[in-house]
Amino acid sequence: MAKLVLSDREVSLIKGLFVHRNLNDQQVVAIFSYLDRNINHREIGSIRKNQKQRYIDVAPASAKEIDKLLYDYAKISALADRLGFCNMDPVSAQVHKAVEIMKTAIMVYNNNMIMTRSETFIVLSVIAWTYLLHARFSQGGVKPVYLTPDGNPVLVDGKEKCWELGHCINQPQSALSKGQANNLKYIIAIRNEVEHRSNEDINDDVQSKLQATALNFLKYAKEQFGSKFDFSHDLAFTIQLQALTLQSPNMVKGDGAVAKAVAAVNALLEAPMSTADFNDPDYAYRVYVVPKVSNNSKKADQAVSYSPVGSNVEVAIKQVERPKFRMTDAIQMLTEQGVPNVTSHTFTQAWKAEDLKAPAKGLAIQLGGQWFWYQEGVDRIGDILKAAGAGAGAGA
């Protein structure tokens, strides 16, 4: 067998692993070796120590390049698990199963030909999250099954009764953030609401919640079980055949009617929430799709860019569930901005002066018997109060 000679590119990546990840020689050998490619440890050590002029002349790969290398290698590691190269432990097997179910849920949701894609996504994501949390508990030595008062497993049809997702969420060992837990409670509530009692189209109404569910799952799987469960590049952005323009039918203008099933869950779960909890991206991930104009020919193929709701964007193509604020929160915001004479009385006078709660204006919405103000409504009330303050000063 001819002596293996590493390319400059490989040397650059190896040096990058030492610089950006501080891996040892054995770990690097494991990444670059396989049956027909046996790399000597001494050669790796020589690269690390820059013992040859050729290695001195090669610059380490960038951190971004190393991230890409390790992401690709993690997929090889995951494939080795599934192909049975080594005995896979029960926890890893359960996480692999959870990831496959979530990937299926996302692929179904991305199929616009399926009218019930949201309902299907919700059912599958509940299963995926249940498997994932069960794996988390098992990893920590906690068996996720119900027990009788004397400590024996509760049996159903002769099998141990496992914790359902709603029970898992409330366990401290779940290590869920508050936003992640709130999102899963919402998903479960929607599933229960539409399971037997609704035939409405809910796709637009729950979009931001489902986006958060998928992103939370990906983040949780990577953080709790390792990078080999990162599937962020496995699912491509879907092709949009209908142009994203202001004249397109796919644009949502203002606030349309919300499906009754979704409205009921919104009123139940969101009315008691604080503004911070409601606007937490782990609870609902909301984005604007905005036109991307570039004078750089190298970036001209970038069709759209994503900006978080609240950003100073020029055009909003699709606007979903903007952040909402109670009157007390809005008053505090305006006070911090230096708006004069902001009280509940002047706030109420201001919105009544221009009937800002009128549904057609899209500045406020009523949920569960409480009124919430969008940022645009808060800003308009601030303008009214500023004008009133300026007028009073001029009169004096």
Per-residue confidence (pLDDT) for residue 258, from 0 to 100 = 73
On the question of pLDDT at 311 being above 60, the answer is no
User: 38-85 pLDDT, tens per residue?
Assistant: 788 888 999 989 888 989 999 999 999 999 898 888 888 888 887 877
pLDDT in tens, 206-249: 888 999 999 999 999 999 998 889 888 777 655 555 544 434 44
Least confident window among 132-136, 234-238, 274-278, 305-309: 305-309
3-state secondary structure of 248: coil
The pLDDT score that the predictor gives to residue 248 is: 40
Distances from the Cα of 86 to the Cαs of 78, 92, 93, in angstroms?
Answer: 11, 12, 12
Amino acid at 261: A
| Interval 332-353 mean pLDDT | 92
Q: How far is CA 121 from the centre of its chain?
A: 15
Q: State percent of the chain over pLDDT 70.
A: 81
- Residue-level pLDDT at 240: 53
The residues, ordered by sequence, that sit 6+ positions from 281 with a Cβ below 8 Å of its Cβ are 179, 212, 308
